[in-house]
Amino acid sequence: MATAVSADKPAAGDPPLKPRIIQADHRRYSLKLEPVFWAALEELAELQGRRLNHLVAEIAREAGPDANLASRLRMFCLTAYQGQQAEREAVRQRLDLGGLLDSSPIPALLIAPNMLIRRENAAFAQRFGGEGRRFVGRPLQRLFRLQTAVPLVEAWARFARGEVFPVRGRLIHAVPGRVTTAEMRLFPVPGRGAGRFYCIVWIALGLPAAPRAP
Domain range 96-206, its CATH number among 3.50.50.60, 3.30.450.20, 2.40.50.140, 3.20.20.80? 3.30.450.20
Q: Is the pLDDT of residue 76 over 90?
A: no
Higher pLDDT, 163 or 97: 163
What mean pLDDT value characterizes the chain? 78
The H or E element that residue 181 is part of is strand 178-190
User: Rounded mean pLDDT of 123-146?
Assistant: 81
Q: Is the pLDDT of residue 149 over 50?
A: yes
Q: Is the pLDDT of residue 111 over 80?
A: yes
Is residue 195 helix, strand or coil?
coil
Residue 153: the pLDDT is 92
Residue 7: the pLDDT is 41
What are the tens digits of pLDDT across the range 176-210? 888 888 888 888 887 765 667 888 898 876 444 44
What are the tens digits of pLDDT across the range 100-110? 788 777 888 99
Higher pLDDT, 84 or 53: 53
What are the tens digits of pLDDT across the range 25-60? 788 888 898 888 898 888 888 877 788 888 888 888
CA gap 102, 122 in Å, rounded: 7
Distance, CA of 96 to chain centre: 21
Residue 144: the pLDDT is 92
How far lies 148's CA from each of 24, 35, 40, 87, 157, in Å?
Answer: 25, 30, 22, 19, 14
76 C-beta neighbours (distance < 10 Å), count? 22
Per domain, the residue ranges of the chain are: 2-75, 96-206
